[in-house]
Structure 1
Amino acid sequence: MPTALITGATAGIGAAFARRIAKDGLDLVLVARNVEKLNEKAETLRRDYGVSVEVLPADLAEDDGIAAVEERLRQGVDLLVNNAGFGNQGTFLEVPVEAELRMLKVHCEAVLRLTYAALPGMRERHRGGIINVASVAAFLTRGTYGASKAWVVSFSQSIAHEVKDPNVKVMALCPGFVHTEFHERAKMDTSGIPEVLWLDADDVAEAALKDLKKGVRVSVPSPQYKAVVGLSKFVPRNLVGKVSSRTGRRYD
Structure 2
Amino acid sequence: MITDTHTHLYSSQFKEDQKEMMQRAKNAGVSRFFIPAIDSSYTESMLQLEKNFPNEVFLMMGLHPTSVKENYKEELAHVKKWVDQRDFYAIGEIGIDLYWDKTFLQQQKEAFKTQIQWAKEKELPIVIHCRDAFDEIFEILESEKGDGLYGVFHCFTGTKAQAEKAISYNMKLGIGGVVTFKNGKIDQFLNEIDIKNIVLETDAPYLAPTPYRGKRNESAYITNVVDKLVDIYGLSFEEIADITTQNSKEIFGV
TM-score, length-scaled by structure 2: 0.40
TM-score, length-scaled by structure 1: 0.40
Higher normalized helix content (fraction of residues): 1
